[in-house]
């Protein structure tokens, strides 16, 4: 992972939440919230909360007395997440590094993380921290994207951009969001951090958008892929987005579009 892969600054959080969240994240957030609620946790820590799609899904399902702490390393994302839901006495927003959590040992019943583990520069450290703050018998619930070939729009965008930047194709999507999909590796990483009873479900969903333009804008301008494009051509973001849109339209049509997405959902027992 490159340092720029972690940059969600400027206009990216708003674009990300407006386009990416409904297109690919909301179905998995609902699933994660349902799984979390089934464990009846009294206290939850969310790491890499992003723009708050999981916290929005989760708060409607939790008991009144549940304590929920939503954290993210990126303050811009956290500020945006806080702004997108009404005040809730159960929810605390806090900037925190998943690799060095500012919480006591054995403090939470559940640690959850949706599509954040791929961005951790040291997953072993992050997993050890998750285990440290979990009570004995607590659960670590998180999701990661499957390989890019199983996530059609991401693959289409990556191939389209490779055609206009053949000497140095932007590989953010394949490298980071879709770069941590090997289930044996995930199990080994968790067991090395001390987790037991690792269960992994692979869930396919359908990504939908009103048009190929929305898909192109979402990926090219609402993720760190934007930084990769601008690094190759400072004035070329709109042209790259238009090229990606044309490639999507040629394959999927010009109206409402849909395509497969796929992810792994993991539950590990502390």
CA distances from 71 to 41, 68, 81, 88, 194 (A): 17, 10, 10, 15, 23
Structure tokens at 81: 């997440």
Q: In this predicted structure, what is the pLDDT of residue 5?
A: 38
pTM, two decimal places = 0.91
Instruction: Count CB neighbours of 73 within 10 A.
Output: 19
| Strand positions, DSSP E, the chain | 43-46, 67-72, 91-95, 108-114, 134-145, 196-209, 257-269
Q: In this predicted structure, what is the pLDDT of residue 18?
A: 80
Q: In this predicted structure, what is the pLDDT of residue 13?
A: 64
Can you list the alpha helix ranges (DSSP code H) found in 84-145? 123-133
Q: From first to last of the 270 residues of the chain, give the pLDDT tens digit.
A: 544 434 444 455 666 778 888 899 999 999 999 999 999 999 999 999 998 999 999 988 888 899 999 999 988 889 989 999 998 889 999 999 999 999 999 999 999 999 999 999 999 999 999 999 999 999 999 999 999 999 999 999 999 999 999 999 999 999 999 999 999 999 999 999 999 899 999 999 999 999 999 999 999 998 889 999 999 999 999 999 999 999 999 999 999 999 999 999 999 999
CATH of the domain at 53: 3.40.50.150
| Per-residue exposure over 105-118, b if at least 16 CB sit within 10 Å of its own CB, e if not | eebbbbbbbbbbbb
Could you give the angle at which helices 237-252 and 152-164 cross, rounded to 10 degrees? 130
Q: In this predicted structure, what is the pLDDT of residue 12?
A: 59
* Strand ranges across the sheet with 91-95: 91-95, 67-72, 43-46, 108-114, 134-145, 257-269, 196-209
If you search the block for the tokens 């407006």, which residue do you land on? 18
Q: In this predicted structure, what is the pLDDT of residue 7?
A: 46
| Per-residue exposure over 209-247, b if at least 16 CB sit within 10 Å of its own CB, e if not | bebbbbbbbbbbbbbbbbbbbeebeeeebeebbebbbeb
What is the end-to-end Cα distance of the chain in Å, rounded? 28
Q: In this predicted structure, what is the pLDDT of residue 124?
A: 93
Domain, as residue range, for 124: 3-269
- Number of domains, the chain: 1
Q: Provide the Cα torsion 245, 249, 255, 257; round to 10°.
A: -90
Residue 172 CA to residue 197 CA, distance in Å, equals 32
Q: In this predicted structure, what is the pLDDT of residue 76?
A: 85
Residue 82 CA to residue 58 CA, distance in Å, equals 14
């Amino acid at each position: 992972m490159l340092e720029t892969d972690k940059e969600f600054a400027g206009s990216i959080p708003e674009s990300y939440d407006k386009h990416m969240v409904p297109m690919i994240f909301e179905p998995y957030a609902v699933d994660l919230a349902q799984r979390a609620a089934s464990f009846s946790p009294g206290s939850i820590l969310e790491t890499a909360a992003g723009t708050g799609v999981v916290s929005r899904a989760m708060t409607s399902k939790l008991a009144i007395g549940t304590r929920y702490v939503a954290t993210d390393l990126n303050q811009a994302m956290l500020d945006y997440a806080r702004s997108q839901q009404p005040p809730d006495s159960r929810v605390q927003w806090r900037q925190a590094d998943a690799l060095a959590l500012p919480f006591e040992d054995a403090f939470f019943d559940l640690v959850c993380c949706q599509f954040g583990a791929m961005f951790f520069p040291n997953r072993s450290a992050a997993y050890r921290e998750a285990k440290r703050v979990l009570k004995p018998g607590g659960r670590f619930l998180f999701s990661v994207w499957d390989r890019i070939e199983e996530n059609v729009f991401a693959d289409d965008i990556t191939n389209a951009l490779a055609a206009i930047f053949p000497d140095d194709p932007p590989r953010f999507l394949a490298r980071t969001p879709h770069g941590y999909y090997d289930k044996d590796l995930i199990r080994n990483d968790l067991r090395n951090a001390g987790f037991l009873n690792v269960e992994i479900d692979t869930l396919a969903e359908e990504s939908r958008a009103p048009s190929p333009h929305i898909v192109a804008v979402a990926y090219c301008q609402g993720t760190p892929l934007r930084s990769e494009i601008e690094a190759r051509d400072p004035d070329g973001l709109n042209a790259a987005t238009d090229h990606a849109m044309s490639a999507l339209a040629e394959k999927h049509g010009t109206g409402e579009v849909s395509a497969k997405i796929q992810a792994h959902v993991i539950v590990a027992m502390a």
